[in-house]
Amino acid sequence: MKKISITPYTRAGKYKFLKTGFLVFSFLMFCKVSVSSMPMGPKEEQQQTIEIRGKIVDEQGNPLEGVNIQVKGGTTRTATDAQGNYRLRGIPANSVVVYTLVGSTPQEYKVTESGVRNITLSLEEKKLDDVVVIGYGTVKKEDLTGSVGQVNMDDLMEAPVGSFDEALAGRVAGVQVSSSDGQPGVGMDIVIRGANSLTQSNSPLYVIDGFPIEDPDNAAINPEEIESINILKDASATAIYGARGANGVIMIQTKKGKVRKPIMSFSSSLGFQKIPKTIKMMTPWEFVNLEMEINKARATEIYTPADLDPENEFYDPEGRTLEDYRHIKGIDWQDLLFRESLNQNHSLAIRGGTKTTRYSLSGSIFDQQGIIVNTGAKRYQGRLNIDHEFSKRFRTAVNINYSENLRNGGLVNAGGGANFTAYALYRTWAYRPVTGNPNINIVEDGFDDEFDNPSDLRLNPIVTAQNDYTHRNSYNFMTNVSLEYDINKKLQWKSTFSINNSKSENQTFYNSNTPHGSPRNRTLARNVHGLFSQGEGTTWSNENFVTYKNTFNKAHKVELMGGFSMQEIHTETFGFGTMYIPDETLLMQGLELGVPFSSSGSGGEGGLMSAFGRVNYDYKSKYLFTGTFRADGSSKFVKENQFAYFPSFAFAWNMKRENFLQSVSAISESKVRVSYGATGNNRVGYYEPFTVATNTLSNTYGFGNDLPIGGIVISKIGNQALKWETTYQFNLGYDLSLFNKKVDFTFDYYKKNTRDLLLNAEMPSATGFTRVFKNIGSLSNEGFEFTLKTTNIRNKQFSWISSFNIGFNSNKVVGLTRNQHTMFSPMTVGQNTADLYASRIGYPAGMFFGYIFDGIYQVEDFDVSSTGAYTLKSNLPSNGSDRDKIQPGHIRYRDLNGDGVIDDRDMSIIGRGQPIHAGGLANNFSYKGFYLHVFLQWSYGNDIFNANRVIFDGNYIKLFNLNQYASFNDRWTPENRSNTLYKVGGEGPAGYFSDRTLEDGSFLRLKTVSLSYTLPSSLVKRAYMSRLSLRMAVQNLWTFTKYSGLDPEVSTRHSVLTPGFDYSPYPQARTVTFGINAAF
Amino acid sequence: MKKITYLFLAFIVLSVSSCKKILDKEPLDFYADLTYYYDTPEQLDASLRGVYDMLQSSALYGGLMNYRLGLEADEGYYARESPVSGPHANDFTSGHSDVNSFWRDLYTGIGRANAFIANVDTNEEIDEEYRNRLRGEALFLRGYYYFMLVKTYGGVPLILEPLKDVDNIDIPKSTDKEVYEQILLDMIAAEGLVDGIQDIGHGGRVNKSAVRGILARVCLHMAGYPIRDVSKYQEAKNWASKVINDPIAGHALNPSFSQIFINYAQDKYDPKESIWEVEFMGNGQDAYTETGQVGYLAGPSSTSTVIGECFGGVKATSKLYSIYKPGDLRRDWTIASFVYSGANHDFSTSYTTSTTQTYLNNRHAGKFRREYETLLPKHRTRTPQNFPLLRYSDVLLMFAEADYETVHLGNEGSNGVPSDSARNLLMEVKLRSFNMGGIKVSGGFGINAGGSGYLSPPKITLPNATGTEAEITATVTNGAITALQLVRDPVTGFKMGSGYDLPNYSYVTITPTNGGTGGRVNARFYFPEDAALTAAELSDFRKTIQDERMREFAFETIRKGDLIRWGIFEFEMRQVANTLSTANLAGRYYYNYYANVRAKHRLWPIPARELNLNNALVQNPGW
């Protein structure tokens, strides 16, 4: 619940900069005058009753109903009618009249005589930064003791995206938001203050309208409906969520209705998406030259039959010569694959309310087509929020949200089909730009007949994309009811009841023109097949807590909160697939014709019981102390380990309140915060303590060709000793505000130690198991965060506000399984798998591991025999191939151990997967009705392994007919003695990962630029509108990076252990949208 | 307000009482109580199938063992240049994934067996005889998995109980001898429990003969290097003899060597010859995952879906080719003398004719051929072919070897006269594949007289019709026969026929018929004396047995183990390297596989991953 703080009468005059808008400004001036004209005491004159009347309107001139008008300290009161009119009679002269409306700042006036008093009440929200939503309550920002990042929703809303998390990157210091790539409908990875866990989820806990939920579908929420997002970062703020708080907490509040006549607001935007960059590929002439180098005879037969000896059976005088290719324009497959796609977003909301009942009803349609055909995401969503007062002391609030998220398109970065050529972008880049025979139409044929390599299933990238049939739908229903009762003025009770139900449905159909379903697929060999699965998860929760607030001796303010909560979750999934479907035209409905090959069913249940409490003590707002405590019990652990306790303490010193600073007018706020506490993480499966036996066909064995019914095996070993993982976090913060809050500065230092890591730990396989969940290992994260917000210029016409944030995090593996020194993570590129990542004690998790590229062997490195044969000089190391095969132009690696041989002993850490710092800079300009928002975002210090280049900038296994990036034109030849690119066939042993293709992934991106214009209200009033604004926004306008791939914001196989891997990514699109916002 | 407070308090009480329900969750999709899984005869059966299942694992007989682990030793090599390193090149480290997955999957099988053995008596209501039979199979499989481990890695941790404490993982190695002793314990116990092969009806399941035969193999390994407990020869002989002299099992050799493998391709069982085999079935068009890659990974390479695609991952050495004597039908079945090209394969033109070292070292292993699969359509990369683990001929040769060594107690310096039974059993195996009465391809086959007046190539017929299937084509130039060719055959190499009962002296003159006159063709036939053991073979009977085993079991994953137990692994591998070197083939990628062999390669290293996680392990010498 959002709290409205009452502005005291005596302080009204101090507000000068708070309100925007001329009306409010002048009104405040008036207010000041009226205050200063109050010297005479109210009791000086004998009482005489007077009467006032008038009309109360909002800033747009709309009449306000239900405004309470009351004599201060008296009982006489009335309220405005539907037209905003009121009449208050029989009030003593010189009394102070208070105009109150929920959702606006109360106003007070002294009335001396009868008359008309027309009032304009500002309905502007209380500035979000005044009140911060924290766990089980709110706190004035001034009184905050913990570290809480606030998202500026106005800024966030400038980004033309469908889901709030897509615009979150760079908005809050220490909150790292990244996407695996640009595929529509794929969620973002949010990590707050570095990863705590190596093998388990590092996602924060979400609390949506007070309802804690572990892995929500963020796309289910319409960003337009979000009132505020607060990100709890330090232990003092998160420990109230105990066992789920270690990864940070994202608090989301949705918009509520207000006491007013219903206002309908409508916003609509239409946009276009386009790929900002493609990779330059070889031209036909370059390509044919390359093929000549790979296989002269074959290339000549296919591409230049006219150049052949007339005796040759492939000689064709009508055919092409090599020179012909100089003039042929190649097929630009990227151009054919990527399209300009449409993006639309419409939402409609009606909000209003009476004094007792406020409501907000909203709905939205979002439709984002992907820049690759057959990909996209859609959302249909509706929400109802109702706040009702049964009595002055008893209130209820109901929030209901329903959303359908329909996503289509197979994941471009997931190959599947057990074949590396099943990746969409691999196909696109690999497909040759030209054919030898001009009559072959490779653009329309699903398969290139001139090319037949059974191990490389290379199908037409366009035809396969057109035939893709993948639907991932989710249906999310979330309802949340709260009851609040003021037991007395100091004691408040609140209960919330929530149910969240989400269903998912996946449909995949692979027809014969897809890599998976193609009869040419040798490894999968299911021919036409389809899969259907559905899942359902239901969570209910109940939270009850009481809050007690009191102030003793005007100096000691105490707030106590205590409560308990329960939560249960039930999930189940079912699915099946059939293959060899004889009729592919029926699509999913044809599944019944196929041979079943997979079926699945699984379920899980979990429960969480907790008790929690918080003490806030505040001495004259100078010294602030917060202590929180939570006890969590989870069904995921056995009885002895079920409960864990998470305390935290925080202290803040509000220096501004001290005498020595009160006189310093330049400083508006100066506060030091310190906190320490423990939080937990329980992100493991529901039944990890249990040993699991399964009975499946995949574990069976047929005797004498019988048809076995099942095979029972112990598939997983349980660990009864499993318990909570704990993160201990220290935070030191400083808030400084200068020049009447024109400059706001926040600094935080933190150090997190995570112990008893819930690690999917490796086991010696002699035990019969390769992994088990254990509480073993530890990690630390240490960092700094700076946030600076400045109002650079502010006057009636023009304002310029900047906000800047930067977060540094250094992550370190402190311990692993027992004496394990390094955890390796292998990666597969093409046909080869090798270790590419190492998480090593003393280093950050997910470091790149491999060989060090050491240039190219040059002619001088060889002894030349009398026959002209090159032999590598004996003092030079080999490259892992046989020495006698190494020739000038071959790749060279650094021989780290100096034994003259390159083998796995020469692998070392070659780069870092995590950035050193990341942040954002937003600038907002407003001039009259114009508003310009410019947002820059960056990430610095992380490397990206551009695995595409292993194949397309070097052709790692000398595949014929495989187009290459244009950069490979610079390869070593006797004429062009490159030291950066080996010659054709000089790649050395396949499957070696080196820093040759490891690139600096730092980037600075002009993420959002948005310009809007609000029409003058006098103009729009004629159209019965209260507000109309037009907007143009651009997302991903410009990126500055040295990274050579499509986009540096990429991590196609993302996990803590394997960051920054780029293979066949879905490119990030540039989006341009045009929209209107209107209110009626 | 009071009312609400009471309500609130009541609510708390109610909630706390439901606490237990919330925190006490039984799994939904499996049973937490493992005894559930061992409660009925069907469940015991399903659980035992899980133990067998690991035989099909892709790191074992379901994949890697068929081609990339270097188990064929001097018989052949992995037929690809890349990857450069690995066991197939004898160039690898303890971190190699093949070294790790082999270990992992064998121990997974052991873990499954341990779980089964520990739980088989959960429900004592189940017929005891049934439980014992299954227990026997599980004990045997555990022993077999340890046998594979100890052959490959030497002493390994001996784990015989299900894992109880996930933190108790520093398990030291037992010595190789201790592992072997445990294998004997398990297998001997199994011998008394499992069914006879005729009760089962096929070799797809562990049976008494399989246990006895494998026990003979285990004992031979214990008698050999590195354990060298020569007393085990007698035990090996006893076990082999139990198989041979079991009238109920009624083992006998299949008269046709090639038919044994055609049977595997066609999912036919021959319990007399094929005592134990790894089961594979299906073509991937069913809900099962029971297909394997026998015939796909190693076989004559093929890209035809009609013949059945074959990766052709193993090629034979000239050493293997040369060890076969003329008339031995195993040679051209074991080593493909042809290549497949296209779907409707014309065998008459696709033969490798050259016998230079270059070509002899470039022929594909041909023992397992997809061409014969009958289950259609053929999967592109997966096959239903079973893989032999123990054939009767192995038992016969093991007996012969054990018998011989028992007499001479393994004394390498002493070579004596083999017993009659040892000799006879060896001859039984040899003669089964000897083309008695077939035309000798070389040595006398040719034109006796060209004749004249032939207008077209004449049909050449043998003088009497006791034998079958020989086919000779002639080339006629100017009316005279100028060239002769025995027709090529993918199974026997040539259509030299068999069973011709012609005089055992000089040449037999065959008269062509077809209008012309005067043409005569000479031929000689294989006779028993051609097959008889030579004096040299008799005087070095140990070597004779070793060679016979190579001829009989090439590409059945037996050779490397044999060479090591005989103590001649490095020597024999070096022989191949020398041959290649002499033939100027040292530049070929496969040369390294032979040249790289050192003493340390008798054992693989303990996988690096295992060493990292189990602090009590010690690496094998040399690694």
Lowest average pLDDT, out of A371-380, A570-579, B23-32, goes to B23-32
Residue A289 reports pLDDT greater than 80: yes
A186/A882 Cα distance (integer angstroms) = 45
A-chain CB neighbours of B112 within 8 Å are 713-714, 768
Q: Is the residue at B406 inside a domain? A: no
Burial class (CB in 10 A: 0-12, 13-18, 19+), A116: exposed
Residue B130 reports pLDDT greater than 60: yes
- Output the CA–CA distances (angstroms, integers) from residue A277 to A244, A372, A997, A1072, B452, in the order listed: 41, 14, 19, 15, 81
A989 and B95 in contact by Cβ < 8 A? no
Report pLDDT digits (tens) over B141-172: 999 999 999 999 999 999 999 998 888 889 99
B524/B503 Cα distance (integer angstroms) = 9
- Average per-residue pLDDT in chain A? 85
How far out from the chain centre does Cα A444 lie?
38
Q: Does A766 touch chain B (CB under 8 A)?
A: yes
Taking residue B593's Cβ as centre, other Cβ atoms within 10 Å add up to 27
Name the A residues in 379-398 with CB < 8 Å from any B CB.
none
Partners of B328 in the β-ladder: B434
Residue A300 reports pLDDT greater than 50: yes
* Same domain (yes/no): B47, B128: yes
Give the pLDDT band (50/70/90) at residue A1014. Answer: confident
Whose CA is closest to A461, among A334, A651, A280, A340? Answer: A334
B235/B221 Cα distance (integer angstroms) = 11
* Same domain (yes/no): B32, B117: yes
* Same domain (yes/no): B176, B70: yes
B-chain CB neighbours of A608 within 8 Å are 22
* Same domain (yes/no): B469, B590: no
* Same domain (yes/no): B621, B482: no
Percent of chain A with pLDDT over 70: 93
Report pLDDT digits (tens) over B315-336: 999 999 999 998 999 999 999 9
- Identify the CATH number of the domain in which residue B611 sits: 1.25.40.890
pTM beyond 0.90, yes or no? no
Instruction: Report the 3 state secondary structure along A780-841.
Output: EEEEEEEEEEEEEEECCCEEEEEEEEEEEEEEEEEECCCCCCEEEEEEEECCEEEEEEEEEE
What pLDDT is attached to residue A36?
38
Whose CA is closest to B279, among B61, B106, B59? Answer: B61
Q: Is the residue at B41 inside a domain? A: yes
Q: Is the residue at B337 inside a domain? A: no
Q: Is the residue at B435 inside a domain? A: no
Report pLDDT digits (tens) over A704-761: 988 888 899 998 999 999 988 899 999 999 989 888 788 889 999 999 999 888 888 8
* Same domain (yes/no): B62, B122: yes
Report pLDDT digits (tens) over B181-226: 999 999 999 999 999 999 999 999 999 999 999 999 999 999 999 9
- A interface mutation test: which of B110, B159, B166 has the most A CBs within 10 A? B166
* Same domain (yes/no): B55, B169: yes
Lowest average pLDDT, out of A307-316, A487-496, A604-613, A925-934, goes to A307-316
Q: Which two tokens stand for residue A180?
A: 């695996």
Q: Is the residue at B245 inside a domain? A: no
Choose between B177 and A869: higher pLDDT: B177
What residues contact B553, with CB distance under 8 A and at least 6 apart? B391, B394, B559
A-chain CB neighbours of B81 within 8 Å are none
Q: Of B493, B526, B559, which residue is a domain's last?
A: B526
A-chain CB neighbours of B15 within 8 Å are 542, 544, 564, 566
- Output the CA–CA distances (angstroms, integers) from residue A526 to A294, A519, A723, A986, in the order listed: 33, 8, 43, 37
Taking residue A685's Cβ as centre, other Cβ atoms within 10 Å add up to 16
Task: Give the gap in angstroms from C-alpha A487 to the nearest C-alpha of chain B.
Answer: 7
Give the pLDDT band (50/70/90) at residue A424. Answer: confident
What pLDDT is attached to residue A829?
84
* Same domain (yes/no): B25, B139: yes
Nearest CB partner across the interface for A711, out of B11, B22, B49: B49
* Same domain (yes/no): B93, B164: yes
DSSP letters, B516-574, are -BS-EEEE-B--HHHHSPPHHHHHTHHHHHHHHHHHHHTTSS-HHHHHHHHT-HHHHHH
* Same domain (yes/no): B464, B581: no
Give the pLDDT band (50/70/90) at residue A64. Answer: confident
Report pLDDT digits (tens) over B567-578: 999 999 999 999
Q: Which two tokens stand for residue B32?
A: 């937490």
Q: Does A609 touch chain B (CB under 8 A)?
A: yes
A770 and B22 in contact by Cβ < 8 A? no
B156 and A596 in contact by Cβ < 8 A? no
What residues contact B3, with CB distance under 8 A and at least 6 apart? none
A-chain CB neighbours of B84 within 8 Å are 880-882, 989
ipTM: 0.91
Nearest CB partner across the interface for B166, out of A580, A601, A772: A772
Task: Give the gap in angstroms from C-alpha B358 to the nearest C-alpha of chain A.
Answer: 19
B-chain CB neighbours of A572 within 8 Å are 28
- Output the CA–CA distances (angstroms, integers) from residue B36 to A394, A695, A996, B24, B50, in the order listed: 53, 12, 55, 20, 16
Counted domains in chain B: 2
Residue A963 reports pLDDT greater than 70: yes
Q: Is the residue at B236 inside a domain? A: no
* Same domain (yes/no): B28, B151: yes
Over residues B129-133, the mean pLDDT reads 95
- Average per-residue pLDDT in chain B? 89
Give the pLDDT band (50/70/90) at residue B582. Answer: very high
Q: Is the residue at B550 inside a domain? A: no
A766/B162 Cα distance (integer angstroms) = 11
A169/A149 Cα distance (integer angstroms) = 13
Give the pLDDT band (50/70/90) at residue A481. Answer: very high
What pLDDT is attached to residue B107?
97
Over residues A70-90, the mean pLDDT reads 80
Q: Of B526, B560, B579, which residue is a domain's last?
A: B526
B488/A619 Cα distance (integer angstroms) = 104
What pLDDT is attached to residue B431?
94
B-chain CB neighbours of A774 within 8 Å are 166-167
Q: Of B509, B526, B543, which residue is a domain's last?
A: B526
Q: Is the residue at B231 inside a domain? A: no
Partners of B227 in the β-ladder: none
Residues A618 and A625 sit within 8 Å (Cβ to Cβ): yes
* Same domain (yes/no): B38, B133: yes
* Structural domain harbouring B32: 14-194+568-623
Please name the residue of chain B whose CA is at the shortest distance from the CA of residue A604: B28
